[in-house]
Amino acid sequence: MKFKDWPQDRVRELFKKFGSVERAEAFIRKEFKLEPRKHDGALSGEATADEERLKEFENWAPARVQLLFSKVGGVERAEAFIRGELKLVSHQRSGHPIVMLNSVETPTIHGFVAAEAFSPANGFDVSPRSAEVFRGCTDGYEPAWAVMMYKIRRDERDRVLAAEVAAVSIARVFHVLMAQSSGQEGPLRIDAPNLAFIKDDSGRLWTMEALHRGAEGGWRIDAVETNRDTERKAGTRCIGFLGYPERSCWDTLDHD
């Protein structure tokens, strides 16, 4: 069967499996590939597009849709992907995508409210999207704990990074940022974005971006849904907890 004869409801299911236009484009660029589910490579995680993401495909050029179908390998492989017999994986590259720099102690958390903490009074310029993510994000009590500081070793995408760095509470991120709000020396970069993976009150995973405002002091904050799989530049710093012990970066500890 040719693509032009494939039912539109099946095309829609294929789009849902890719999760977003960005992810489909990355597949076309050969940043991802389809492998049998038993494959034990660097899994990128299941993508499921919501209605908002599916609408993005409606504006996608027909030529790109045709090219995606061609790259998948035709109707038979597309149907196998939809059924879950094939899984999207990132091309395996040597070495971990991140390296741990050091740990940063953070204090005991009592009654933290993100919407109040990330305020202009504390030197934060928060995007409207971030404000929505922060709404309802609170922490009642957390003991003093250390977070890890990582450096991204190569250009890499959010889903791969999120598989290595566990999400951290937004209260911990706040304290790390405040320690360098005036441009003090520390583990964060003042000249480039810094990242952290956080969850909103519904459990949805977001990539939080913090860029120092220079002479103004404080931080400009934005958040993008991790599922959009944004590419990050090598050298970017990331705040988090240690991800998965079996894929630990401790063996590549780097003091720079």
Residue 57's pLDDT is what?
83
Domain edge (last residue) among 24, 56, 90? 90
Q: If you average pLDDT over residues 195-217, what whole number do you get?
A: 92
Q: Which range is least confidently modeled, 87-91, 161-165, 243-247?
A: 243-247
Instruction: Give the pLDDT confidence of 30-55 residue by residue, as tens digits.
Output: 778 888 876 444 444 455 556 777 78
Higher confidence at residue 138 or residue 206? 206
CA distance 225 to 204: 8
**57 and 157 together in one domain:** no
pTM over 0.85, yes/no: no
Question: For 75-193, where are the E strands, in sequence order?
Answer: 86-90, 98-106, 109-113, 124-126, 138-142, 145-152, 156-157, 165-166
Does one domain contain both 85 and 113?
Answer: no
Same domain, residue pair 126 and 164: yes
Apex 179 CA angle, 173 and 180, nearest 5: 100
Does pLDDT of 22 surpass 90?
A: no
Q: Which domain holds residue 22?
A: 3-90
Residue found by looking up tokens 């990050």 in the block: 232
* CA dist list (Å): 233 to 168, 192, 194, 195, 206: 21, 10, 10, 11, 17
For 112, the 3-state DSSP assignment is strand
* pLDDT tens-digit series, residues 111-135: 899 999 999 999 999 999 999 988 8
Name which of 95, 90, 24 is nearest 59 in CA terms: 24
Position 219 scores a pLDDT of 96
Q: Give the tens place of pLDDT for each residue, 133-191.
A: 888 787 778 888 888 899 998 889 898 898 888 888 899 999 999 999 999 989 999 99
125 and 82, same structural domain? no
Same domain, 170 and 192: yes
Q: What is the pLDDT of residue 202?
A: 86
pLDDT confidence of residue 98 = 86
Does 85 lie in the same domain as 114? no
Rg value, the chain, Cα: 20
pLDDT score for 19: 82
Percent of the chain scoring above 90 in pLDDT:
34
Mean pLDDT taken over the chain: 83
| Amino acid making up residue 165 | V
DSSP 46-93: -----HHHHHHHHTS-HHHHHHHHHHHTSHHHHHHHHHTSEEEEEPP-
Residues 110 and 34 in one domain: no
* Whether the Cβ atoms of residue 194 and residue 239 lie closer than 8 Å to each other: yes
